[in-house]
Amino acid sequence: MDKTQAYCDLLKLFSKMLDPQEQTKLNKSKQAKKKLGVEMALIGMNISLLGSDEVVKLYIDWRASALEGGIEKMVFVFSKMMLAMRTDLTPTTKINNHDMMTDTFMTLEG
């Protein structure tokens, strides 16, 4: 596994956590929560091994906010982590605004 794959796995996990159907499952099932925790741990091991120091620090913060259940804080920390991942993968990136990153995964409901 390379760094890019580890970061993509993390993005998929985050997308899954924002899915309303997945949130319903997590609220109703201890088994679903346990499965998510295992998935987070496995991805976390890959991030810890392959990610930059900044990404690892932000992953730890993000995981703590995810376990606390506060969606706003979780999204805020994740957007900062996305910027750190971009910088890690593409050091010459010009995007440095976490609000812009947040807008990339927030959906409009109509």
What does the pLDDT read at residue 110?
Answer: 39
Q: What is the pLDDT of residues 21-61, one digit of tens each?
A: 988 888 898 998 899 889 989 999 999 999 999 999 999 99
Q: What is the pTM of this model?
A: 0.79
The mean pLDDT of the chain is 85
The pair of structure tokens assigned to 13 is 């996990």
Please tell me the predicted confidence (pLDDT) of residue 109: 42
| Alpha helices, H only, the chain | 3-18, 20-28, 30-50, 53-68, 71-89, 98-105
